[in-house]
Amino acid sequence: MSDNAKKPADRPLSSTDCVHAGEAHQKPGNGITDPIFCSSTYTFEDTPAIAEFLERNLPREEYGRYGNPSEQVAQRKLAQLEGGEQGVLFSSGMAAITALLMGKLKAGDEVILVNECYHRTREFCNVHLGKFGVVTHMVPACDFDGMESLINDNTAMLISESPTNPHLSVVDVRRLAELGKKHGVETMIDSTLATPYNLRPLEYGIDYVIHSVTKYLAGHNDMLGGVLIGSSEKVEPIRKLRGVIGNINAPHSIYLLLRGLKTFSLRMARHNENGMAVARFLESHPRIEHVYYPGLESHRDHQVAKETMRGYGGLVTFLVKDADEKATADVVDAMQIPRIGPSLGGVESLVEQPLIMSFHDFTKEQRMAVGISDNMIRLACGIEDPEDLIDDLKGALEQ
């Protein structure tokens, strides 16, 4: 890419779209917010109304497992923010991933999965899909030669995250899309950490984008949800499958998502600011061995991130120098602002020691194989003042 080329992420995500996209100007009941539809079924005036609904495929609801009026608003908004034609909302990010894979794969198919993908995604592919005759191959993140060497006539999908969690490797979505199109294989990116504020994979030619809307998109650590976004042709079969398996979201959770999306672009600007400030502070601290953050020039994938992303998010992973499991836990426990817990992307900062929180059921050999060391800390910066987060970290490291 030339220095003068304009990447898709250079086009700012519109705060106006975050507030208004997908919504009717005048809403039911004349409220400024979309109402919560707590209804399991939707009635018809008479029998001819049912026939008209079925024959003309009218845009209204029939039964709660197939849709909800405010869910339609959220799906339209999310699709527009991502630059896709259609979105399908699910009960969680994992529900979105598993529905896509179950809808697209069959016995004998093979998938190629980046080894830094979320560990539950790896588990679903390796363990559960394997029971139904789907073969999963693992490749290191960003190893496109290794990925291409595994593609054969049975390959059905290339699966990656970008950035990955917790190492924040940045996959070149341009190359992934090109590789898929070259071999006629569909591609999927879990873009939860990037969000459409920082990266829009569909604009580079990726087929499917997944988000855990639990994280940055809803942004308040108060709901669970996932979304699949892509072209209408590719996504509609997964919507129909959702109606069969029933992994829909709850009406109140949809309301919380819509509320959170109103301030999404404002929050992401602060997450990006906080992540960069904290990463630069940590990189300069004598007690820190290494910092994983794609906004830093020292990051392996900084150039790719710079070329494809608008910002780098609020997640920062770092290694405490010469620290064992206990000494690392002491740093976590000494921090006062972040709460200790899993997840990321909310207004409150969260911190965890991946060894204990997310990989406790792994053996040491399994953890080391995926790069989870005893001295690793993952800090998900919220929207607090960056100076306060840095002062807190400084005190914890210098105790």
User: Same domain for 248 and 278?
Assistant: no
Question: What's the chain's average pLDDT?
Answer: 94
Q: Which residues pair with 340 in a beta bridge?
A: 351
**Residues 225-252: pLDDT tens digits?**
999 999 999 999 999 999 999 999 999 9
* CATH value at residue 25: 3.40.640.10
Residue 101 and residue 120 in contact, taking contact as beta carbons nearer than 8 Å: no
Is 5 within a domain?
no
**Residues 35-79: pLDDT tens digits?**
999 999 999 999 999 999 999 988 899 999 999 999 999 999 999
Q: Could you tell me the two tokens for 20?
A: 């208004």
User: Same domain for 286 and 229?
Assistant: no
Residue 386 and residue 394 in contact, taking contact as beta carbons nearer than 8 Å: no
> Is pLDDT of 8 > 80?
no
Is 4 within a domain?
no
User: Same domain for 65 and 212?
Assistant: yes
Q: Which residues pair with 351 in a beta bridge?
A: 340, 379
User: Percent of the chain, pLDDT > 90?
Assistant: 90
Is 7 within a domain?
no
In angstroms, rounded to a whole number, what is the distance separating the alpha carbons of residues 195 and 50?
40
* CATH value at residue 276: 3.90.1150.10
Q: Are strands 110-114 and 376-380 parallel, antiparallel or unpaired?
A: unpaired
Average pLDDT over residues 72-94: 97
Average pLDDT over residues 334-356: 96
Neighbours of 246 (CB within 10 A): 11
User: Same domain for 275 and 229?
Assistant: no
pLDDT of residue 11: 57
User: Same domain for 185 and 228?
Assistant: yes
pLDDT of residue 356: 86
Average pLDDT over residues 98-116: 97
> Is pLDDT of 4 > 50?
no
Average pLDDT over residues 7-35: 85
The count of structural domains within the chain is: 2
pLDDT-based confidence at 122, cuts 50/70/90?
very high
In angstroms, rounded to a whole number, what is the distance separating the alpha carbons of residues 5 and 1?
6
> Is pLDDT of 313 > 70?
yes
User: Same domain for 248 and 319?
Assistant: no
Average pLDDT over residues 134-158: 97
Q: Of 216, 233, 261, which residue is a domain's last?
A: 261
> Is pLDDT of 86 > 80?
yes
pLDDT of residue 268: 98
Is 157 within a domain?
yes
pLDDT of residue 6: 46
User: Same domain for 253 and 272?
Assistant: no
Range of the domain at 389: 264-397
Is 2 within a domain?
no
User: Same domain for 184 and 204?
Assistant: yes
Length of the chain: 399
Helix intervals (H) in the chain: 15-20, 47-56, 69-82, 93-104, 119-123, 144-150, 173-183, 195-198, 232-245, 251-261, 264-283, 302-308, 325-334, 354-357, 364-369, 386-397
Average pLDDT over residues 126-142: 95
121, burial (CB in 10 Å: exposed 0-12, middle 13-18, buried 19+) = buried
Q: Of 239, 261, 283, which residue is a domain's last?
A: 261
User: Same domain for 256 and 269?
Assistant: no
> Is pLDDT of 341 > 90?
yes
User: Same domain for 249 and 162?
Assistant: yes
Is 3 within a domain?
no
Q: Of 214, 242, 261, which residue is a domain's last?
A: 261
Q: Could you tell me the two tokens for 83?
A: 């630059």
Is 50 within a domain?
yes
User: Same domain for 39 and 120?
Assistant: yes
Is 299 within a domain?
yes
pLDDT-based confidence at 362, cuts 50/70/90?
confident
> Shortest CA distance to 348 belongs to which of 376, 395, 319, 388?
388
User: Same domain for 247 and 107?
Assistant: yes
